[in-house]
Amino acid sequence: MSRADEVRARILAAAVEVFSRRGYRAASMNDVAEKVGLRKPTLYHYVRTKQDLLVAVYEEVLDESLTSARTIVAGAPSTREAVRRLIVERVAYTCEHRDLLTICFEEESELPDELAAPILARRRAFEDLVLEAVQAHLRATGRTLPMTPRTYVNACLGAANWTYKWFDPAGPRSPRELGDDVAAVLLPVLDG
């Protein structure tokens, strides 16, 4: 990683902390510069706008999610296990990156349409990957769901993603254990 890439990574980490703590709208580039220990003109050498930082947060989350999901599906020993692992990983990632997910779930309206469109396309690609895993399981087992597969996927992702609001890092369950719990509740519908 080049020095410029290292500085950009530090800036993004600072932006995540500042945006998740203060809210995107209330945060300023001065806040980010101060957090990362740079002067504001130096910050602008690496990042053009506050919106660019917000887009970078979304890109990081969605790129990591897509890469992880593809790896999970490719390496799962069965279609059911692929779906189970996707749910567990989504819960674990959400719990482990609550600051990132707080921004993604609460600041989407801050993105102008031209910046939101590619991000929404990435999110749909992730959702479609999960949907394909569910449909592969249904085809392999000949089962059906009491709802559309997309509704099932949206319910699973909604349950997994909402943990950013209530997960307690000091609580009795680790992120992965909580993921196992959530999957245990959701999979019986798939097993129908």
Q: What residue has token string 């602008």?
A: 44
Segment 78-135, tens digit of pLDDT: 999 999 999 999 999 999 999 888 888 888 888 888 888 889 999 999 999 999 999 9
User: Would the CA dihedral through 155, 160, 162, 168 be positive or negative?
Assistant: positive
Same domain, 101 and 162: yes
Percent of the chain with pLDDT over 90: 70
**Stretch 65-70: mean pLDDT, rounded?**
96
Same domain, 153 and 84: yes
Same domain, 3 and 97: no
Same domain, 113 and 139: yes
> What pLDDT was estimated at residue 162?
95
Q: Of the residues 48, 65, 81, which one is the last residue of a structural domain? A: 48
Tokens at 20, concatenated: 């998740």
Same domain, 152 and 108: yes
With 80 as the cut, is the pLDDT of residue 1 above it?
Answer: no
Same domain, 36 and 111: no
The CA dihedral of 114, 44, 22, 94, to the nearest 10 degrees, is: 60
How far apart, in whole angstroms, are the C-alpha atoms of residue 82 and residue 137? Answer: 9
Segment 13-26, tens digit of pLDDT: 999 999 988 888 99
How far apart, in whole angstroms, are the C-alpha atoms of residue 117 and residue 111? Answer: 9
At 28, the pLDDT band (50, 70, 90 cuts) reads very high
Same domain, 115 and 170: yes
Cα–Cα nearest to 69, from 26, 122, 23: 122
> What pLDDT was estimated at residue 101?
86
Percent of the chain with pLDDT over 70: 100
Instruction: Tally the domains of the chain.
Output: 2
> What pLDDT was estimated at residue 74?
97
Same domain, 108 and 144: yes
Same domain, 4 and 63: no
DSSP character string of the chain: --HHHHHHHHHHHHHHHHHHHH-TTT--HHHHHHHHT--HHHHHHH-S-HHHHHHHHHHHHHHHHHHHHHHHHHH-SSHHHHHHHHHHHHHHHHHHTHHHHHHHHHSGGGS-HHHHHHHHHHHHHHHHHHHHHHHHHHHHHT---SS-HHHHHHHHHHHHHTHHHH--TTSSS-HHHHHHHHHHHHHHHHH-
> What domain range is 101 assigned to?
50-191
**Stretch 139-149: mean pLDDT, rounded?**
96
Segment 76-85, tens digit of pLDDT: 999 999 999 9
> What pLDDT was estimated at residue 109?
85
Same domain, 123 and 141: yes
Cα–Cα nearest to 20, from 9, 30, 31: 31
